[in-house]
Structure 1
């Protein structure tokens, strides 16, 4: 099939490009290179240096005629979203709307959307957190990702555009940018190689769900052709209550009329958590880095970030149910691979 990958020169997107080519698909990439790099791209992929807000998308879709769009292009910084929420919304919401409108005009049959877990859920009493909790985003970035999920719902209902939203936990791996507001794994890898003291925000007891990019890519590939569940068994991210009589407490209840409407419209998009279901504290992450680096890494504790989540870990049972997917890379193995990748490219200060 023909797959157009937005943000395909970036960290996760470029790995999706590689896997799609390896699977025999024809691949096109749209990326404005604001954070991505041409060095990440396989030359077999067609490439357009275009912003997703641009009207040039129409010409690209006319020429490439994608069956599926894998949408990873985004403003990715939570901090930047708080500093300039209008810009965040312009890229993440209006840019995606531009892409969805072009998709409808050009007969795209499915959109796979890279969403977020922690930024949408916020602090929750239910940990590991399932898809059916009431979302409590506290950043414009999280609000924008949730808004896009709702637009996917609307476009599926209005136009029959199939959609799957993958809510990632904390993704790490090769090609992650260690500068700016990057993932802590990339920051620590670079810091260790430069011989710097690592800084842990707060007491380091805060936990995250670290998932390898290889596992995330596998979820994206399975999402290309996942089976369509019945309306009754879909998770509706609009719903805020649970059918206590259901065998699976995460299957949302619907009124009969709502079920009929969903059958006609194809049901709400699948919204699936993509993580490991295992939480790791930052202190434990430092300990693992000492093991994989083979040396005593110096570490200090700085000030806690205001509003930082204490615990964030995803319940991924629905991804296993609908995609047949679960994470298989244990954290120590994934960290070792990632650190080795950074070490192989380190050229000194």
Structure 2
């Protein structure tokens, strides 16, 4: 099947991807500095794991030794608030980290980079659903660093012939999501309800988000191994849900009596977000398969354990 290297493979999405690729028969190499990822998320007996920073020299040696066919680049500083607090750190991890992956791909003839980008590159939507031709106007350094990385990948293809597929994720949720690092609202709500703590909703709760289950993100990444070369694609459910609706779904599934606490709207928060995935379904021959209630049930089970 071939060799794949996953940067950030002990993180939320990376660990799910590592499991699935291993099941499919790929030799999987995971590199993670464990700042936000956890070794508990993977099985080191089935996966070659290395604790190291992608900006360090050890990463070069790992790529040189294994010579993977493909790199899934998921390692990132993914916290929007942290990116605002610390521009420099965000750029070091997200921009320089991507440049390092490109440089090593060039040096060791990697067939393709599949890059985890974000809907954060779009900023305030001018229209809905947002397609990939929508103007990019990020509202955070995190969004800027993802967008800059996309440009470097496009340039690397032109200059060095390194193939890529860029996947702009919607709001990903599912088991093993870190309630602090990625700050996913589903993880935060599920964790709060499992501990019988009232969740906090910022604003009136009528803001909408496009939630996608982690398993669907994984299947899109795997489809991108062979399809979507040189493409930028949205990956989400294409079905917006309000935060109030989301809370009611979680409350109903968990039989909770909990009620949310409403607080002042956060600065910079987008009111409505919905991604157009029509192009993605055609190019990757992929479609999201996990409905929100099914995904929430699986996620709540994880937090209750």
Q: What is the TM-score when the length of structure 2 is the normalising length?
A: 0.97
SS at match of 2:20: helix
**Aligned-partner SS, 1:179:** coil
Shift of 1:125: 2.2
Cα separation, partners in 2 of 1:205 and 1:227, compared to 1, 3 Å: closer
CA–CA distance in structure 1, aligned partners of residues 182 and 36 of structure 2: 11
Distance across 2 between alignment mates of 1:274 and 1:87: 27
How far apart, CA to CA, are the structure 2 residues paired with 1:114 and 1:316? Answer: 16
Q: Does 1:139 align with 2:124?
A: no
Deviations 1:255-280 (A, max 9, x none): xxxxxxxxxxxxxx210000011101
Q: Sort the Cα spacing of 1:148 and 1:68 in 2 relative to 1 into closer, same or farther, 3 A.
A: same
Residues 1-349 of structure 1 mapped to structure 2, 5 A cutoff: 1-43=2-44, 44-117=46-119, 119-179=120-180, 182-226=183-227, 228=229, 269-344=230-305
Report deviation, 1:227.
Answer: 5.8
Mapped partners of 1:168, 1:181: distance in 2: 13
- Higher-Rg structure is 1
Alignment RMSD (CA, Å):
1.0
For 2:148 and 2:208, locate their aligned partners in 1 and report how far apart those are by CA, in whole Å: 26
TM-score relative to the length of structure 1: 0.85
* Alpha-carbon spacing, 1:212–1:84, altered in 2? closer, same or farther (3 Å): same
Q: Which runs of 4+ in 1 moved over 6 A?
A: none
In 2: Cα distance, 1:81 partner to 1:206 partner? 22
Please tell me whether the aligned partners of residues 57 and 99 of structure 1 are also in contact (alpha carbons under 8 angstroms): no
Deviations 1:40-77 (A, max 9, x none): 11221111111111122221111111000001000011
SS in 2 for 1:186: helix
Q: What CA distance in whole angstroms lies between the structure 1 residues aligned with 2:181 and 2:79?
A: 9
In structure 1, C-alpha distance between the alignment counterparts of 2:211 and 2:116, rounded to whole Å? 16
Distance in 2 separating the partners of 1:338 and 1:153 = 35
Gaps of 5+ in 2: none
